[in-house]
Amino acid sequence: MTTTATATLSIRRFEANDTDAVVALWQQAFPEYRDVTKPQRNPHLSIANKLATQPELFFVAVLGERVVGTVMGGYDGHRGWLYSLAVDESLRRHGIGSRLVAHVENALAALGCPKLNLQVLSAKSDVRAFYEALGYRADAVVSLGKRLGELADSPPV
């Protein structure tokens, strides 16, 4: 466990009363979540969607009483996905992100997931380096996407 003078880091499932803290953390970690012109980047919608689909794969890192990190996983029976890894900027480079990734990897492996994928924006080389240090490698694929429903006309990323 990561410790400070007064607190121990723990990882647990997201709870509804974590919502405000998670939204604040995501708005800090992902500037696009502050951009009201990108409705697909609404953190409240992301939380609601995750709670409707595999909520048991939505985790928070808590230091004392404070939410300091998040990660979400998903598994469709073929491969897993890792989403929304975020760590409070004042606590980065202390192993919290690595612990969150290991936690979701273990949860997915317990479900029989044979491979985990994630996407990193191409401009974020520091984020890519973090994942590469954890053993992730670029696959020889091109990621394609299409928005559906009410977000169909939203501009890409």
Q: What pLDDT was estimated at residue 5?
A: 47
35 or 76, which is more confident?
A: 76
Contact predicate 83/54, CB 8 Å? no
CB-CB contact of 23 with 44 (8 Å): yes
d(CA 101, CA 107): 10
Mean local confidence (pLDDT), 22-42: 85
Mean pLDDT of 108-133: 88
Q: What is the per-residue pLDDT across 69-92, written as a single tens digit (0 to 9) for each?
A: 999 999 999 999 999 999 999 999
Stretch 118-129: mean pLDDT? 83
The full set of domains in the chain, from first to last, is: 9-138 (3.40.630.30)
pLDDT in tens, 129-157: 888 888 888 888 887 778 788 666 665 55
Residue 36 tokens read as: 């009201």
pLDDT at 56 over 60: yes
Q: Is it the case that residue 4 has pLDDT exceeding 60? A: no
pTM given for the model:
0.84
Residue 38: phi, psi to the nearest 5?
-120, 80
Average pLDDT of the residues of the chain: 87
Residue 12 confidence (pLDDT):
97
Sheet holding 116-117, edge to edge: 9-13, 58-63, 66-75, 80-87, 116-117
The pLDDT score that the predictor gives to residue 153 is 67
